[in-house]
Amino acid sequence: MPRKTSPRKAQPRKTHRRPLWRRLLRIVFLLGVGFSIPFSIYLVYLDRIVVQQFEGKRFALPAKVYARPLELYVGQKINADVLQAELKELGYKPVENVVLAGQFSRTRDQFEIYIRPFTFWDGEQQASHIQLTLNNGQVRSLKNKSELAPLNLVRLDPITIGGIYPNHGEDRELVRLRQVPQVLIDALIAVEDRRYYQHHGVDPKAILRAATTLITSERVQGGSTITQQLIKNFFLTRERTIERKVKEMLMAILLELHFSKDDILETYLNEVYFGQDRNRAIHGFGLASQFYFSRPIEHLEPHQAALLVGMLKGPAYYNPRQHPKRATERRNLVLNALADQNYISDSTYRQQVLQPLVISELPGLGQSRHPAFMQLVVRQLKRDYRETDLQSEGLRIFTTLDPYEQKVAEQQLTKNLQQLEKARSLPHSHLQGAVIIANVHDGEVKAVVGGRDSNYQGFNRALDASRQIGSLIKPAIYLTALADIEHYNLATPLDDSPFEWSEPGIEPWRPQNYDHEFHGTVPLWLALAKSYNVSAARLGTQIGVDNVMRTVANLGVEKSLPTYASSLLGTVHLTPYEITQMYHTIASGGFKTPFRAIREVTTVNGAPLNRYNLSVEQVVTPTANHLIVAGLQQVVARGTGTGVLNYIAGDIHAAGKTGTTDDLRDSWFAGFTGNRVAVVWVGNDKNEPIKLTGASGALRIWGDIMKNLSLEPLNAAVPENVDYVPISHRDGFVARDNCNNTFTLPFHTKSLPDADYCGAKTGRKVKSWFNKLFGKD
């Protein structure tokens, strides 16, 4: 039998516990692995954002709009004061010794100008140092200063008159790093990021220094690098949270892994904010240099560069226009930092801190200085370009605006409206007005004023105020008649006796003259000169209202006008712009030339995109146009427009026409010389009476404007089939060659009237004319 054995007691199992530190290490490792995976994914996500958006970052560049460049050449008519005003408007600095581009000096009629470089539509113009001498308002000598070699022509860089901005309102002038003065870069590094070229996006020393300052002195000191600031501006919001700050630091490190310091610095220089110009945000050092100093960034002096760098801390707080003392103190702190870090010498520092704070008084370059003209430019541009392209592609628009003529028109309109209100006991701001000036030779619009407040960017009366035009339509009546050489000439007798016109369904129309009198038989030119309503209405109905309105259309008015008999006395509504186009066709010899406000459009780099070429169509025969011009010259010489002679000399031979509407609600004057056509309207926005005729209101403003311009005489070429014939001062009809007290008027050679007397024998003339008109001997 088997042997019994006693049971054995179970032995306890030995366990081998890992040390605590190993367990903790394992936990940390597992947590690290668990955290690193999402963190790595997050870094990849941030890296993708940084690379894609920074590489693809394209600043939205508003279109820049320029005035016409002032061209200087021997023989050009220009006043010395006008030239100096344009130089100052451009931001050229008057100095004793001209050594830098953007400087000029003047000794009486002699100028020394260092013209800045500029890229025009036809190529790049290098900086040039010239000497110019004027004599009696003309350029007599134009030379290269260094070689004293004669120059044929030079152009000043054009004035920037505005921009076409995106909805966010940002504006900037892109600059390359090589354009930026070294002193500006040094100031930026000295103040914003001393170790910019040593760190990798984040500067631990700067962070530690900022933390220490906060703890010890309870002052907040920035620890962000230039790279971090750029990240914040480009990718992040303005909120102050730890999460956003960590994200900023990570993205800054990633940015520097992919892009060079120079790339980052150049982008920063173009991105930073420098304050507001109304609804326009000034970004980048390039535009800030223009906005505050009216000079390119390349020409900044050390104290100017220091001011701009100092403003980065608070563009509004250190705005030099609003807080000059505060801005000067901040500028000097930056200059001190430059000296402390040996970027500039002590002597340079002492010299620069003594410089006065000279800030440009001009509006910001790019701000719409002349909004009424800018509206015309934008309307013409939108025919050819999308609005998004105008707001973002940096197009360069070269316009026809003449800054001097625009300024004269703005000033004279405002001044005269105030004087007229005072003289007529009208309420303040009761009167409004508009002005258009165009070049007779090519249809270029030189000035547009949309109201008495030339800075107002709303309703533009010059382009959009459609008003009754009164007697401004009468030249179209007489031109229609004069085109019929078989029946009409300037001495054709017209009947200015009581007249009634009836049409079915319409109340009879009985026009009246302004003086409430009738003048019997008058020659055609005198009826035009004196603006007689009755004779004009009778003539218009005889030749056909439809034909008159067709003439108005031929002269350039595109809208359809009613053909009522009352339309012959200007009950039709047109804008000042349309009236100017109409009178320009007459002023230019009968050639219709659609107005141009734009000459050229180029890309941001200067490559030509679109040329706005001259378009010309002859719509009036040379003979008929010559006759109507002579008639309009008589308006100024002997008619309702004689007030013009109080402003400009008679040898200019200006032509024009007054216009007054019912109840004295509108005052017009349209006139032209050999080189300028201008229209002035005065009225009230509520269409209330203004107590002014065309002669007592608009003509005064027209004269004050034109007397300040460089005008050419209106000496139209005489067509071959036109002869000049004596006219008697006694009755305005044709006189014999040997008569005294006469003047001459043009006639077509096929319709030369007979003359065997010296005036005052109109009865036989009237009978002869009626017989000729109706085919009787």
678 and 590 in a single domain? The answer is: yes
Answer yes or no: 192 catalytic.
yes
| Residue 655 CB-density burial (10 A; 0-12 exposed, 13-18 middle, 19+ buried) | buried
The C-alpha atoms of residue 756 and residue 737 are separated, in whole angstroms, by 9
User: What is the token pair recorded at 754?
Assistant: 């007979």
**Residues 145 and 234 occupy one common structural domain:** no
CATH number at residue 218: 1.10.3810.10
Query: Could you give the CA distance from residue 24 to residue 647 in angstroms, rounded to a whole number?
Result: 99
Compute the residue count for the chain. 777
Asked if the structure places residue 223 within a domain, the reply is: yes
> Between residues 183 and 253, which one has the greater pLDDT?
183
HEC assignment per residue over 692-730: CCCCCCHHHHHHHHHCCCCCCCCCCCCCCCEEEEEEECC
**pLDDT exceeds 70 at position 559:** yes
Whether the Cβ atoms of residue 297 and residue 309 lie closer than 8 Å to each other:
no
Asked if 102 and 205 sit in the same domain, the reply is no
Same domain, 272 and 139: no
Q: Are 85 and 404 in contact (CB under 8 A)?
A: yes
Comparing 767 with 391, the larger pLDDT belongs to 391
Question: How many structural domains is the chain composed of?
Answer: 3
Burial class (CB in 10 A: 0-12, 13-18, 19+), 538: buried
The verdict on 477 and 596 lying in the same domain is yes
Q: Looking at the domain assignment, is residue 643 inside a domain?
A: yes
Q: Please indicate, yes or no, if residue 362 is contained in any of the structural domains.
A: no
Q: Is residue 15 part of a domain?
A: no
Q: What is the mean pLDDT of residues 96-111?
A: 93
Q: What is the mean pLDDT of residues 141-169?
A: 86
The C-alpha atoms of residue 657 and residue 740 are separated, in whole angstroms, by: 28
Beta-sheet strands, E only, within 90-152: 93-94, 103-107, 110-115, 118-120, 123-125, 128-135, 138-144
In this structure, are 334 and 199 located in the same domain?
A: yes
- Whether 417 is in a domain gets the answer no
Q: Is 40 assigned a catalytic role?
A: no
Residue 430, number of CB atoms within 10 A of its CB: 18
List the CATH number of the domain containing 630. 3.40.710.10
Give the confidence band of 285 by pLDDT, cuts at 50, 70, 90: very high
Query: Which segment, 1-10, 209-218, 350-359, is predicted with the most confidence on average?
Result: 350-359
Residue 256: other Cβ atoms inside 10 A: 19
pLDDT, tens digit (0-9, with 9 covering 90-100), for 626-653: 999 999 999 999 999 999 999 999 999 9
pLDDT of res. 229: 86
Let me know whether 471 and 597 are in one domain: yes
* Lowest model confidence (mean pLDDT) among 35-39, 298-302, 495-499, 518-522: 35-39
Share of the chain above pLDDT 70, in %: 86
Is residue 463 assigned to a domain?
A: yes
Q: Are residues 109 and 250 in the same domain?
A: no
In this structure, the answer to whether residues 97 and 180 fall within a common structural domain is: no
Residue range(s) defining the domain that contains residue 476: 432-482+521-601+614-706
The DSSP bridge pattern shows strands 432-439 and 445-449 to be: antiparallel
- Do 663 and 550 sit in the same domain of this protein? yes
**Range with the poorest average pLDDT among 270-279, 375-384, 426-435, 768-777:** 768-777
Whether 556 maps to a domain, the answer reads yes
The pLDDT value recorded for residue 753 is 83
Which of 657, 685, 706 corresponds to the end of one domain? Answer: 706
State percent of the chain over pLDDT 90: 63
pLDDT at 74 (0 to 100) = 95
Q: Is 278 among the domain residues?
A: yes
Task: Specify whether the CB–CB gap between 101 and 115 falls below 8 A.
Answer: yes
pLDDT tier for residue 1 given thresholds of 50, 70 and 90:
very low
Q: Nearest 10 degrees: CA dihedral of 194, 197, 198, 202?
A: 70
pLDDT (tens digit per residue) in 689-706: 999 999 999 999 999 999
Average pLDDT over residues 161-172: 78
Average pLDDT value over all residues in the chain: 87
pLDDT (mean) for 483-504: 93
Which helix (H) or strand (E) element contains residue 623? helix 622-638
Are 144 and 179 members of one domain? no
308: tokens are: 């701009």
Is 107 in the same domain as 220? no
Among 480-484, 518-522, 610-614, 749-753, where is mean pLDDT lowest? Answer: 610-614
* Sign of the C-alpha dihedral computed for residues 90, 154, 84 and 371 taken in this order: negative
pLDDT class of 10 with cuts at 50, 70, 90: very low
**Each residue of 706-745: pLDDT tens digit?**
999 999 999 989 999 999 999 998 888 998 888 888 999 9
pLDDT top residue among 624 and 63: 624
Task: Say how far apart CA 90 and CA 360 lie, in whole Å.
Answer: 11
Q: With residue 672 as reference, give the H or E element that holds it.
A: strand 666-672
pLDDT class of 4 with cuts at 50, 70, 90: very low
pLDDT band for position 6 (50/70/90)?
very low
Residue 45 above 70 pLDDT?
no
CA angle 500, 503, 508 (to 5 degrees): 40
- Residue-wise pLDDT for 422-476, tens only, equals 999 999 999 999 999 999 999 999 999 999 999 888 899 999 999 999 999 999 9
Query: Of the listed 392, 471, 567, 667, which one is catalytic?
Result: 471
Among 706, 741, 756, the domain boundary falls at: 706
| pLDDT recorded at residue 364 | 46
Among the candidates 652, 681, 706, a domain finishes at 706
Angle, helices 242-258 vs 261-271, to 10°: value is: 130
Angle of CA points 677, 399, 387, to nearest 5°: 125
State the catalytic residue, choosing from 86, 170, 173, 192.
192
pLDDT, greater one: 323 or 776: 323
Given a cut of 80, is residue 14 above it in pLDDT? no
